[in-house]
């Protein structure tokens, strides 16, 4: 059963994780604070930060792994790293989608390590990995399961027929759910990334204090640009003092609208497919309001619900490792001429 080192570097988190026989042993994440000053991720700065972070992050994962699996004391950290490297069966990395410069750092690092160790290389799709983050916990969904993936770049409803056969049955036609959070937060004057701040203020606010537009989009597809415009037009008519005084209610109402859009489509997805195992995934699944609404939906529709723990919701290498595990079982290896891609094609 394989021991896999996985690297995630698609956006602004440098992360490394080791999983043994589908059990995640660690998940080291170096977050790039530098982007907060700019109100969004600056691709060039992200690539540079990945270059600085990748060696210490991978070393942390290797040292931690050695400490966990070997009882004998090590002379120093190099000995731990060498021991850990000798135990690896494959090296995995995020191939797409993401910022191409960021992806390139993880890809080149993984390729170099695979070549040096003469071990197989596994290229992982970031969105598949978000879905499979639901296979990290001990309690796992049965196949086929339905997954609502909500991140900063994507919003999708996916049927996971197996760990490696996923089918997108609905997706956003414009902004992603995470963008809806971040862009409306920006309109409220909140710093980037605004999603977690809306979540925080919403906890003390009234979700029905203000009403914002909900789109009428066919099938299982989503749209969030109308909500953003509706919030913009509303705020343009208000004073700065009004916005500050009503911050909790505004955040609660925006969050409520985003959750309505997501939950209504997931409800439709359950009815259409008849699938009763439902999962949440992606950075926005860290949102407390959405987690609660998702659980309520499960109860109402008599579904079993699964939500990854917080550390596996936002970008992390553990989800890359677990996905790589299933690809390893199918011997689905990449060659050394594999390149990263910014595109999200499956």
Residues that bind ligand KG4 (CB under 6 A): 11, 151-153, 178, 181-182, 193, 195-196, 199, 282-284, 286-287, 314-315
Residues that bind Zn ion (CB under 5 A): 151, 315
Could you tell which of Zn ion, ligand KG4, none binds residue 314, using a CB distance below 5 to 8 A set by kind?
ligand KG4
Could you tell which of Zn ion, ligand KG4, none binds residue 182, using a CB distance below 5 to 8 A set by kind?
ligand KG4
Shortest distance (Å) from residue 17 CB to Zn ion? 14
- Decide if 137 contacts 313 (C-beta within 8 A): no
Could you tell which of Zn ion, ligand KG4, none binds residue 178, using a CB distance below 5 to 8 A set by kind?
ligand KG4
Could you tell which of Zn ion, ligand KG4, none binds residue 3, using a CB distance below 5 to 8 A set by kind?
none
Measured from the CB atom, the residue of 37 and 77 that comes closer to ligand KG4 is 37
Measured from the CB atom, the residue of 63 and 199 that comes closer to ligand KG4 is 199
Could you tell which of ligand KG4, Zn ion, none binds residue 287, using a CB distance below 5 to 8 A set by kind?
ligand KG4
Integer angstrom CA distances of residue 229 from 207, 247, 261: 19, 18, 15
Cα 96 to Cα 168: distance, rounded to the nearest angstrom: 16
Shortest distance (Å) from residue 181 CB to ligand KG4? 4
Measured from the CB atom, the residue of 257 and 316 that comes closer to Zn ion is 316
Shortest distance (Å) from residue 282 CB to ligand KG4? 4
Cα 260 to Cα 282: distance, rounded to the nearest angstrom: 17
Integer angstrom CA distances of residue 138 from 16, 158, 177, 291, 344: 21, 21, 28, 19, 29
Helix ranges, 203-246 (H): 225-236, 240-245
- Decide if 179 contacts 170 (C-beta within 8 A): no
In the chain, the DSSP E strands lie at 3-8, 13-20, 23-31, 90-96, 121-125, 145-150, 155-160, 166-171, 277-281, 304-306
b (16+ CB within 10 A) / e for 61-100 = bbbbbbbeeeeeebeeeeebbebbbeebebbbbbbbbbbb
Shortest distance (Å) from residue 325 CB to ligand KG4? 20
Pairing of β 90-96 and β 166-171:
unpaired
Query: What number of H helices and E strands is found in the chain?
Result: 11, 10
Measured from the CB atom, the residue of 84 and 320 that comes closer to Zn ion is 320
Cα 319 to Cα 209: distance, rounded to the nearest angstrom: 38
Could you tell which of ligand KG4, Zn ion, none binds residue 284, using a CB distance below 5 to 8 A set by kind?
ligand KG4
Q: Both tokens of residue 56?
A: 């210490």
Q: Both tokens of residue 265?
A: 């489509």
Q: Both tokens of residue 311?
A: 């550390």
Shortest distance (Å) from residue 158 CB to Zn ion? 14
Shortest distance (Å) from residue 10 CB to ligand KG4? 7
Measured from the CB atom, the residue of 170 and 178 that comes closer to ligand KG4 is 178
Shortest distance (Å) from residue 317 CB to Zn ion? 11
Could you tell which of ligand KG4, Zn ion, none binds residue 193, using a CB distance below 5 to 8 A set by kind?
ligand KG4
Measured from the CB atom, the residue of 13 and 249 that comes closer to Zn ion is 13
Measured from the CB atom, the residue of 89 and 214 that comes closer to ligand KG4 is 214
Q: Evaluate the CA torsion angle 113, 119, 120, 126 in order and state its sign.
A: negative
Shortest distance (Å) from residue 208 CB to ligand KG4? 19
Measured from the CB atom, the residue of 81 and 259 that comes closer to ligand KG4 is 259
Could you tell which of Zn ion, ligand KG4, none binds residue 253, using a CB distance below 5 to 8 A set by kind?
none
């Amino acid at each position: 059963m394989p021991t896999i080192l996985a690297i995630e570097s698609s956006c602004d988190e440098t992360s490394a994780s080791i999983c043994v026989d589908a059990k995640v042993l660690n998940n080291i994440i170096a977050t790039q604070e530098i982007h907060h000053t700019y109100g969004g991720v600056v691709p060039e700065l992200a690539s540079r930060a990945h270059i600085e972070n990748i060696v210490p992050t991978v070393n942390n994962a290797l040292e931690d792994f050695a400490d966990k699996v070997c009882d004998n004391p090590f002379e120093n950290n190099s000995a731990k790293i060498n021991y850990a490297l000798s135990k690896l069966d494959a090296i995995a990395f995020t191939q797409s989608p993401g910022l191409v410069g960021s992806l390139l750092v993880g890809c080149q690092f993984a390729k170099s390590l695979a070549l040096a160790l003469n071990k197989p290389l596994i290229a992982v799709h970031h969105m598949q990995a978000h879905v499979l983050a639901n296979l990290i916990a001990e309690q796992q969904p049965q196949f086929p399961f339905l997954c609502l993936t909500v991140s900063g770049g994507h919003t999708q409803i996916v049927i996971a027929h197996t760990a490696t056969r996923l089918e997108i049955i609905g997706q956003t036609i414009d902004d992603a759910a995470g963008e809806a959070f971040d862009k409306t937060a920006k309109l409220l004057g909140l710093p980037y990334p605004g999603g977690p701040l809306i979540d925080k203020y919403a906890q003390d606010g009234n979700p029905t204090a203000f009403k914002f537009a909900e789109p009428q989009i066919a099938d299982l597809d989503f749209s969030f640009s109308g909500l953003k415009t509706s919030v913009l037009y509303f705020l343009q008519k208000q004073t700065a003092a009004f916005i500050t005084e009503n911050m909790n209610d505004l955040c609660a109402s925006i969050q409520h609208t985003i959750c309505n859009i997501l939950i209504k489509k997931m409800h439709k997805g359950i009815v259409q497919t008849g699938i009763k195992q439902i999962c949440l995934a992606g950075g926005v699944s860290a949102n407390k309001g959405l987690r609660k609404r998702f659980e309520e939906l499960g109860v109402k529709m008599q579904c079993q619900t699964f939500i990854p723990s917080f550390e596996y919701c936002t970008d992390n290498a553990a989800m890359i490792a677990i996905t790589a595990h299933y690809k390893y079982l199918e011997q689905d290896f990449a060659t050394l001429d594999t390149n990263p891609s910014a595109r999200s094609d499956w």
